[in-house]
Amino acid sequence: MSNEIRVLYNARCPVCRAEINHYAAHTRARNLPIRFDDLNSADLAHWGISADQAARRLHVLKDGQIYSGINGFLVLWQGMPRWRALATLVALPGGRAVATAVYDRALAPALYRRHLARTARARGASAARR
């Protein structure tokens, strides 16, 4: 199996894009086998999820398995030397529980709501131009 890691993220989300751009620069500088796919242009059938599911949280594909949320971040961070220590800390039982609660209950839902608002504004602007 390939040791490539693929990350599915929302490039239209400014927060997501900034974080992924940081990771992408790190991976390029070290020639790491990590690929970043924008959910807005990726073949989501390959991922087996809908655009709405993809927009709700980070998804990572490694060795044919999809990881999402904090588990996805752990796979991504394990693949980047600079981030392995964070992955080790977050993977600890208490760390994982706290990180999952914060991500699942606060961060991911807030970013998803902002995504929906951006999408609605874009649709409204598009309709107004017609």
pLDDT tens column, 30-54: 999 999 999 999 999 989 999 999 9
- Write the DSSP string, 37-56: EETTTS-HHHHTS-HHHHHH
Three-state SS at 34: strand
Output the tens digit of pLDDT for each of the chain's 130 residues: 568 999 999 999 999 999 999 999 999 999 999 999 999 999 999 899 999 999 999 999 999 999 999 999 999 999 999 999 999 999 998 999 999 999 999 999 999 999 999 999 988 877 777 6
The two three-digit tokens of residue 44, written as one number: 């989501």
Distance CA 64, CA 5 (A): 10
